[in-house]
Amino acid sequence: METLLSQAEQLPSLLAASRSALVRGWDTATLQRALDWGHFFQQLHSRLLCQPGLRTALERRLCRGRRLSLGHLRRCPQLLGLALLENRALSSAAYQHLLRGLLFPGGHGEGSFIPLLTRRKAASQLLCVHLAPPPEVSAEHWVTPQLRAQAQLLLSQLREEGGGEDRVPSSLVLLDQLPRGLMLYRVVAVALLEPAGEAKARALLLLWLLQGDPAHLSVFCRLLPAPGMASLCSRYPELCVHYFSYLAAWGSRLSYDLLQGEWKVSGLEEDEVPWQEMRERVVCLLQEPEPLHSSIRTQLSQLKAKDGDFEIRGLSVWTDLLLDMETAALEKMLVPNLL
């Protein structure tokens, strides 16, 4: 038991080293030993399930002066792999060895303990290395081949793991550990928009998105292009409820500038949305087929009524949005008649 305890005490050092400049001196053999240790710690966690005495002793050792738990043992391969992928101090040779091991499991057994989501991260890194930076894309063409490849890998992992009421797939655990930003949110969005199959995988992903931190969901809705959010809302009514509540909150922060005759943000809040973006997001929602189109118009009318149901511009954001929509619809009807 003492030998196992002393070996487990190396876990903090291994995780710390994987995030430090020490990896600059690692060759491929050293890297492989680190990955093998990750496998060992995961196996050790499995042994603890039937040895409560060892489990208690080990938990005390890990918690003593450190912010570690037994969960770090179970997830050590994932934590180690992701940390090394993000560590720019890793030598080129070791880095290529790591990518090959994650993407193409070989004789070392990496595939047996590195989840596919980590391999997805490796695939993303590999694409960034071998492809030129993608050109700027329009809001209508934001789904790139790279995003679609990453989304399909994520869905594959979720499908393979399944999931149930008694456990959360490790891929979703890893999603919580990855930095939240535009790239991650776009991968999630593209995965949710995949047209065929993967229904259970998409349901798990939607659950992760809707039942997580509300602040993250707000950022997701804010960062995704208007056409993408409209498509998601058309497919997932439960997501649309949250999205429209954010739109209502963003619209309420706009104030009308009488001198310039336009709606403006105060500039005091981080998540403020300018008038033109608000308009674009509403237009995209109204361009979706029924029943979403009628639902959005009804909700806009309700917000307008709460503001006093005025028909004069400049008194309510919702009045102005509806008037703009009516003007655009009228112009669309008149154009064919004039040609």
Residue found under tokens 């999205």 = 243
Q: Which of 49-63, 91-105, 145-159, 277-291 has the highest mean pLDDT?
A: 277-291
Backbone angles phi, psi at 263, to 5 degrees: -85, 140
DSSP 8-state code for residue 289 = P
The percent of residues above 90 in pLDDT, for the chain, comes to 35
- pLDDT tens per residue across span 118-147: 555 655 554 444 333 344 555 667 888 777
Beta bridge partners of 167: 164
User: By CB neighbour count within 10 A (0-12 exposed, 13-18 middle, 19+ buried), where does 103 fall?
Assistant: middle
CA distance linking residue 157 with residue 244, whole number of Å: 31
The percent of residues above 70 in pLDDT, for the chain, comes to 71
Contact between 75 and 33 under an 8 Å Cβ cutoff? The reply is no
pLDDT value for 221: 94
Pair of tokens at residue 83: 């940390």
Backbone angles phi, psi at 80, to 5 degrees: -65, -45
Query: Quick check: pTM over 0.85?
Result: no
pLDDT value for 42: 82
Beta bridge partners of 263: 256
Give the residue-averaged pLDDT of 51-72.
67
Backbone angles phi, psi at 164, to 5 degrees: -155, -175
pLDDT value for 162: 57
pLDDT over 50 at 3, yes or no: yes
pLDDT value for 86: 82
CA-to-CA separations, 157 to 110, 118, 153, 321, in angstroms, rounded: 16, 10, 6, 42
pLDDT value for 133: 39
pLDDT value for 161: 60
